C-alpha cells in the first residue's frame, strides 16, 4: 500500500490517454491519490509521445522545470512513461538525473512496483543524505524498458505480453470511470478500449513500431467483457483503439495461455489489397466479427467507433457490418499521409493515391446514407514536407484532400525521428519555411471543405452526444470564478478529455494543426444567461448548442440529444436542441 499525490500529464495520442487512465486505475487501487495541479504533487508522471520532435521538446522543458523544484522538494518523484522513455531512455538518464522512474509503453504493468520502489528508496536515501550532497544528487532510479526486445518476433512478443494484465486490470466503477476528481459528480459515459497493440507497418517516418513493438491482438472475449463492464458502469460510447485497428484478427486455436491469462496474438501478415478476409475460418474472429459481437452483445453501447484505420487492408465485410448495425458510427479515420505516389512509396505506405481514393469511393458507396441523417464522415492525417517532396507532390496531396472531402484532417510537418528509416536514408531537405507554407495551404484547403460539409448539415437534426461545456463557456466561467476553483462541468470538444482529466491526467492532445469543425471564440452566439454545450454527431462532427433554459446543463452531459443544425460560422457548426 502506498499513498501520495500523483500528477500525471499525457502527451500524444488516444492510446497514451488510455494508458494513462489504466495506470491511474492501478495506482489508485494501491492508495495513491491524484491532483490536477503539478505543484501539489509528490509524484509527477509524464506519459510521453515520440511521434514528432515537438512533443518531446515539451517534455524536456517540463523536466528542466522539475529539476529546479526538486531542490526545494527533495522527496519529489519524477517518472517518464511511454514512447519517449522507450526511444530515448539512455539519453534521458544521462541528461536528466531528475528522472527517478522510466517505463516504456510495453512495460506499464510494472509501473506500480517501480514507483513504489522509487518512493521508498528515495525517502531512505534522503534520510541518510550526507551534508555535502543535495537532493538532486540522490538517485533512486527504477527502469523498465523493452529495449531491443521490443522488436522481437511477433509470436514471442505475444507469448510474453504481460501488458495484457494492464488492460485486464481496468478497474471499472461509476466513480473510477470518470467522476470528476474535484467534485465526484460526473460519471463517465465514453471510454476507449484497446483491441490491438503495436504496429508492423514500418512507415519510414514513424517511431511507433520501435516504441510500441510488434502488432498483437487482444482476445475478443477480453474486449467484449471490458465493453460490458464499461456499459454496466454507465458508459454509452466506446472507441476501439489500435494503430492499425482494422487489422484486428484473432485465431482461437492458436491462442496461448500464460499465467492463466489468454494472451493476445501476433498481427497477421497482409498480402494487401484484399476486400474481404479470405482466410477467416470458423475459429477466427475478424475485425468485422468483433464489431458485430460488441454491437450485439453490449446493446447498452449506443455508439461504437474505432481509430485508426489503415487504408490498404479495409475489407468490404467491415463496411457492411457498419452499414447493417445501427449503433456503429458512420465515421472512419483513415490517414492518407500524402497524395503523391512517389512520396507514398518513400513512406512505405503500401498503396497509391488511386488505391486510397478507390477505398474512399467503396466506403461511401456502402455506407453513405444522408437521407436517414447518417452521412459517412471521414477524417485523415497528412504529413507535409516529407524528404524530397516537390511542389508537384504537394499539389497531388492538395488534390487528394479536395477529392476525399474529409470532415476534418490532421496536418503535420515532417519531423525526422531518430531510429526510423527516413532519418537514416533521406535528408530532411524541405526547408522549414516551405513546410510551413504547405502546412498552411493544406489547412486552408481543408478548412473550406470542412465549412462546406458543415453547411451541408444545416437543416438536419443529428443525434448529438453531449460532451461538456463549449470552449467559450469554459472561458466565461474561468473568468468569473475565483482562482483555483475546480470547474463543475467538464469541458467539451472531447469528453474523453474530461474523463481522462477526471482520472488524473491532463492532456496535451495532438500537437499540431487540425483542421475541422472546432470551436472558435468569436462564433459564440449564446445569450448571456445561457450555457453553451458541445457535443458530437455519430460522424464525429462537433456541434455547439445552447442548453435549454428549463434543463440543468449538468443533467445533459453524456446524453444523446437531437440538435437541429442552424448555421455554420467558419469551422463551427451551431444548432439548437430540437423541440426548442
Q: Rounded CA gap, 576 and 563, in Å?
A: 5
Closer residue to ligand 5AD in complex, CB, 383/464: 383
Residue 205 in contact with ligand 5AD, rule: CB under 6 A = yes
Residue 543, C-beta contacts closer than 8 angstroms, at least 6 positions apart: 462, 464, 517, 534, 535, 536, 537, 563, 565, 573, 574, 575
CB-based contacts of 179: which residues, under 8 Å, 6+ apart?
185, 186, 187, 188, 502
Select from 195, 199, 241, 563 the one that contacts ligand SF4 (CB under 6 A). Answer: 199
* 117, 140, 202, 261: residue in contact with ligand SF4 (rule CB under 6 A): 202
Q: Closest CB to ligand SF4 among 105 and 575?
A: 105
Least distance CB 314 / ligand 5AD (angstroms): 16
Residue 500 to residue 39: CA distance in whole angstroms: 19
- Tell me which residues in 302-321 interact with ligand SF4 (CB under 6 A): 310
Q: Which one, 335 or 558, has the nearer CB to ligand SF4?
A: 335
Nearest to 379 by CA among 213, 542, 516: 516
Q: Which of 146, 243, 450, 572 binds ligand SF4 (CB under 6 A)?
A: 243
Q: Is 201 in the site for ligand SF4 (CB under 6 A)?
A: yes
Residue 412 as a binder of ligand 5AD (CB under 6 A): the answer is: yes
User: Which three cell numbers, joined as nine digits, stand for 511?
Assistant: 500537437
Counting contacts by CB under 6 A, is residue 246 touching ligand SF4?
Answer: no
525 grid coordinates: 452566439
Q: In the complex, what is the shortest distance from the CB of residue 51 to ligand 5AD, in angstroms, rounded to a whole number? A: 5
Based on the shown chain and the rule CB under 6 A, indicate whether residue 417 belongs to the binding site for ligand 5AD: yes
Q: Minimum distance from CB of 59 to ligand 5AD (Å)?
A: 16
Task: Write out the H or E segment, with its range, that includes residue 388.
Answer: none
In the region spanning residues 329 to 348, those forming contacts with ligand 5AD, defined by CB under 6 A, are 335, 337
Q: Is 209 a residue that touches ligand SF4 (CB under 6 A)? A: yes
Q: What are the backbone angles phi and psi of residue 497, rounded to the nearest 5°?
A: -65, -45
For ligand SF4, the closer of residues 248 and 310 by Cβ is 310
Given the rule CB under 6 A, which of 57-65, 194-202, 227-235, 560-568 is the region that contacts ligand SF4? 194-202
Question: CB of residue 208 vs ligand SF4: minimum separation in angstroms?
Answer: 4
Residue 44 or 208: the one with the smaller Cβ distance to ligand 5AD is: 208
**Sole window of 30-38, 292-300, 411-419, 446-454 interacting with ligand 5AD (rule: CB under 6 A):** 411-419
Residue 201 site contact among ligand SF4, ligand 5AD, none (CB < 5 to 8 Å, cut-off depends on kind): ligand SF4
Tell the residue number behind the cell numbers 465493453, with chain if given: 227
User: Which helix (H) or strand (E) element contains residue 563?
Assistant: strand 560-569
Question: How many CA atoms lie less than 13 Å away from 243 in the CB half-sphere?
Answer: 23
Q: Does 516 bind ligand 5AD (CB under 6 A)?
A: no
52 contacts ligand 5AD (rule: CB under 6 A): yes
Q: Which residue, 35, 45, 32, 170, is CA-closest to 109?
A: 170
Per partner kind, with CB cut-offs from 5 to 8 A, the member of ligand SF4, ligand 5AD, none near residue 414 is: ligand 5AD
Contact segment (CB under 6 A) with ligand 5AD among 103-111, 230-238, 275-283, 408-416 equals: 408-416
Shorter beta-carbon distance to ligand SF4: residue 307 or 556: 307
User: C-alpha angle 125/46/4, rounded to 5°?
Assistant: 50
As a 3-state breakdown, the chain gives helix, strand, coil percent values, each rounded to 5, of 40, 20, 40
Tell me the closest approach of the beta carbon of residue 341 to ligand 5AD, in angstroms. Answer: 17
Torsion of CA 87, 93, 96, 99, to 10 degrees: 90
Is 468 within 8 Å of 3 (Cβ atoms)? no
CA distance 438 to 415: 14
Report which of 86, 77, 22, 76 is spatially closest to residue 56, judged by C-alpha positions: 86
Of 245-253, 314-322, 399-407, 413-421: span binding ligand 5AD (CB under 6 A): 413-421
Strands 514-515 and 408-413: antiparallel
Does 247 participate in binding ligand 5AD (rule CB under 6 A)?
no
Q: Using CA atoms, how far apart are residues 247 and 217, in angstroms rounded to an integer?
A: 9
Residue placing its CB nearer to ligand SF4 in the complex, 35 or 243:
243
Q: Is 435 a residue that touches ligand 5AD (CB under 6 A)? A: no
Q: Does 203 bind ligand SF4 (CB under 6 A)?
A: yes
At residue 58, the 3 state secondary structure works out as: helix
Q: Is 224 in the site for ligand SF4 (CB under 6 A)?
A: no
Q: Which of 51, 83, 235, 294 binds ligand 5AD (CB under 6 A)?
A: 51
C-alpha to C-alpha distance for 176 and 566, rounded to whole angstroms: 37
CA-wise closest residue to 523 among 556, 475, 561, 564: 475
Which of 172, 343 has the CB closer to ligand SF4?
A: 343
When asked if residue 414 is in the footprint of ligand 5AD (CB under 6 A), the reply is yes
**Neighbour tally for 248: CB within 10 Å:** 27
Question: How far is Cα 565 from Cα 270, in angstroms, rounded to an integer?
Answer: 42
CB nearer to ligand 5AD: give 35 or 446. Answer: 446
Out of 316, 381, 395, 428, point to the residue binding ligand 5AD (CB under 6 A). 381
Task: Answer for the pair 107, 101: CB distance below 8 angstroms, yes or no.
Answer: no
CB under 6 A: which stretch of 103-111, 191-199, 388-396, 407-415 binds ligand 5AD? 407-415
Please report whether residue 415 would count as binding ligand 5AD according to CB under 6 A: yes
For β-strands 190-194 and 142-144, DSSP reports them as: unpaired
Select the span of 78-86, 131-139, 198-206, 475-483 touching ligand SF4 (CB under 6 A).
198-206
Residue 318 to residue 289: CA distance in whole angstroms: 8
For residue 197, which of 218, 178, 228 has the smallest C-alpha distance? Answer: 218
Q: Which residues bind ligand 5AD (CB under 6 A)?
A: 51-52, 205-206, 335, 337, 381, 383, 412, 414-415, 417
Q: Which residues bind ligand SF4 (CB under 6 A)?
A: 199, 201-203, 206, 208-209, 243-244, 310
Amino acid at each position: 500500500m502506498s499513498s501520495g499525490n500523483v500528477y500525471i500529464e499525457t502527451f500524444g495520442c488516444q492510446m497514451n490517454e488510455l494508458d494513462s487512465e489504466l495506470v491511474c486505475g492501478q495506482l489508485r487501487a494501491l492508495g495513491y491519490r491524484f491532483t490536477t495541479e503539478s505543484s501539489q504533487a509528490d509524484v509527477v508522471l509524464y506519459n510521453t509521445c515520440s511521434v514528432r520532435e515537438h512533443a518531446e521538446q515539451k517534455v524536456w522543458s517540463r523536466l528542466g522545470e522539475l529539476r529546479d523544484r526538486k531542490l526545494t522538494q527533495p522527496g519529489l518523484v519524477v517518472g517518464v512513461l511511454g514512447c519517449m522513455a522507450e526511444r530515448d531512455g539512455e539519453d534521458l538518464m544521462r541528461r536528466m538525473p531528475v528522472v527517478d522512474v522510466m517505463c516504456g509503453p510495453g512495460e506499464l504493468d510494472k509501473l506500480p512496483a517501480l514507483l513504489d520502489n522509487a518512493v521508498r528508496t528515495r525517502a531512505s536515501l534522503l534520510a541518510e543524505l550526507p551534508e555535502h550532497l543535495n537532493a538532486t544528487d540522490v538517485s533512486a532510479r527504477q527502469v523498465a524498458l523493452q529495449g531491443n526486445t521490443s522488436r522481437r518476433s511477433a509470436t514471442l512478443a505475444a507469448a510474453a505480453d504481460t501488458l495484457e494484465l494492464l488492460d485486464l486490470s481496468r478497474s471499472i466503477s461509476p466513480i473510477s470511470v470518470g467522476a470528476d476528481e474535484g467534485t465526484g459528480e460526473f460519471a463517465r459515459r465514453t471510454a476507449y478500449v484497446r483491441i490491438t497493440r503495436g504496429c508492423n507497418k514500418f512507415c519510414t517516418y514513424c517511431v511507433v513500431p520501435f516504441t510500441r513493438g510488434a502488432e498483437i491482438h487482444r482476445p475478443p472475449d477480453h474486449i467484449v467483457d471490458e465493453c460490458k463492464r464499461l456499459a454496466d458502469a454507465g458508459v454509452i460510447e466506446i472507441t476501439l483503439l489500435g494503430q492499425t485497428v482494422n487489422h484486428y484478427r484473432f485465431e482461437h486455436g492458436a491462442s496461448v495461455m500464460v499465467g492463466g491469462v489468454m494472451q493476445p496474438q501476433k498481427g497477421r501478415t497482409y498480402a494487401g489489397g484484399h476486400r474481404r478476409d479470405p482466410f477467416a475460418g470458423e475459429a477466427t474472429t475478424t475485425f468485422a466479427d468483433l464489431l458485430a459481437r460488441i454491437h450485439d452483445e453490449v446493446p447498452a453501447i449506443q455508439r461504437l467507433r474505432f481509430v485508426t484505420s489503415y487504408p490498404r487492408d479495409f475489407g468490404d465485410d467491415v463496411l457492411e457490418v457498419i452499414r447493417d448495425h445501427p449503433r456503429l458510427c458512420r465515421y472512419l479515420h483513415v490517414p492518407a499521409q500524402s497524395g503523391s505516389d512517389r512520396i507514398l512509396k518513400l513512406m512505405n505506405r503500401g498503396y497509391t493515391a488511386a488505391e486510397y481514393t478507390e477505398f474512399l469511393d467503396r466506403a461511401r458507396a456502402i455506407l453513405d446514407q444522408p437521407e436517414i441523417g447518417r452521412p459517412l464522415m471521414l477524417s485523415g492525417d497528412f504529413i507535409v514536407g516529407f524528404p524530397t517532396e516537390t511542389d508537384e507532390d504537394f499539389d497531388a496531396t492538395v488534390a487528394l484532400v479536395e477529392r476525399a472531402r474529409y470532415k476534418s484532417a490532421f496536418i503535420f510537418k515532417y519531423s525526422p525521428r531518430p531510429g526510423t528509416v527516413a532519418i537514416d536514408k533521406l535528408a530532411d531537405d524541405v526547408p522549414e519555411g516551405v513546410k510551413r507554407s504547405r502546412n498552411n495551404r493544406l489547412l486552408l484547403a481543408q478548412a473550406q471543405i470542412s465549412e462546406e460539409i458543415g453547411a451541408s448539415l444545416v437543416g438536419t437534426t443529428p443525434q448529438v452526444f453531449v460532451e461538456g461545456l463549449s470552449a467559450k463557456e469554459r472561458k466565461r466561467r474561468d473568468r468569473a470564478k475565483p482562482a483555483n476553483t475546480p470547474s463543475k462541468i467538464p469541458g467539451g470538444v472531447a469528453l474523453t478529455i474530461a474523463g481522462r482529466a477526471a482520472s488524473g491526467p491532463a492532456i496535451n492532445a495532438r500537437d499540431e494543426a487540425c483542421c475541422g469543425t472546432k470551436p472558435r471564440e468569436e462564433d459564440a452566439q449564446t445569450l448571456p444567461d445561457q450555457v453553451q454545450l458541445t457535443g458530437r454527431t455519430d460522424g464525429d462532427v462537433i456541434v455547439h448548442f445552447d442548453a435549454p433554459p428549463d434543463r440543468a446543463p449538468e443533467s445533459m452531459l453524456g446524453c444523446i440529444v437531437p440538435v437541429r443544425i442552424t448555421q455554420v460560422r467558419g469551422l463551427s457548426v451551431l444548432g439548437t436542441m430540437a423541440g426548442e
